[in-house]
Amino acid sequence: MNYTSEINSEGFAIINDIYSENEIEKLISLIEDVTENDSENATFRKSQDLFAIRQFHKEVPETLDFIFNENLKEIIESNFGSGYFITKSIYFDKPEKSNWFVAYHQDLTISVNKKIEAANFENWTVKQNQFAVQPPKEILEDNFTIRIHIDKTTKDNGALKVINNSHSKGILRIENLNFETEKETICEVEKGGIMIMKPLLFHASNKTTNNERRRVIHIEFSKQQLPAGLEWSEGTILQKN
């Protein structure tokens, strides 16, 4: 399962049939157990348009054995090599009647344990005692994200739209992209499939129009150690079986 050239040239790849129906049902069960029993958790965000769990792999660690099945481990190894670890994870549940949409953007920030001034680390923010910062682009260029699709995702329930190869242009303002000449792809993914993407790939999502739920587990990876005493606040090394 080698998609390296596609990821490098387009900035993303879609791979279906990574998880069995049974594995997906187990993930759903574990998530529902936590959300039903811990609704006041500070890392949970709930509105009529979106339910999200931040630091998902720490809030629901029981899911990791199912997420990192043999298929996913082989994909990571064959496309990125060894040494990568989790740096951030979020669970998104976009309800059937959601009007939530996200405009085109790049994923420019990382989560760190505290604010320490370091060269080329800028645009600091803090939410719920969680520090985020924009690192040098070399760190972002080396990272990757895997989105695990618990539901079939189409253009009608908020599948990501991406600008192909936009990750190769560095950090950009969206108005500096010429939409007349750029190629846009709607990334439809089957239930149990994944999407791999680079953080600098411009991506967006539309409102839901078909009354179908969209649940996604979003996991970011890096193999870089941070300078000047900075540490990944959600850093988790993957256990080798």
Please report the pLDDT score of residue 104 as a whole number: 96
Give the C-alpha distances (Å, rounded to integers) separating 20 from 72, 91, 126: 12, 19, 38
| In-domain check, residue 241 | no
pLDDT at 38: 59
Q: Does some domain include residue 235? A: no
Residue 237 lies in a domain: no
Residue 153 domain-assigned? yes
The residues with which 46 forms a beta bridge, in sequence order, are 51
Residue 229 located in a structural domain:
no
Q: Which residues contact 230 (CB under 8 A, 6 or more apart)?
A: 112, 113, 114, 116, 118, 121, 133
pLDDT the model gives residue 100: 79
Q: Is residue 27 part of a domain?
A: yes
Which residues constitute the domain of residue 21? 4-222
In a domain, 190, yes or no: yes
Instruction: Tell me, yes or no, whether 182 lies in a domain.
Output: yes
Q: Indicate the number of domains in the chain.
A: 1
In whole numbers, what is the pLDDT of the chain averaged over residues? 92
Say how far apart CA 74 and CA 108 lie, in whole Å: 27
Question: CATH number, domain at 211?
Answer: 2.60.120.620
pTM higher than 0.85 for the full model?
A: yes
Report phi then psi at 54, rounded to 5.
Answer: -80, 160
Measured distance CA(147)–CA(51) in Å, rounded: 16
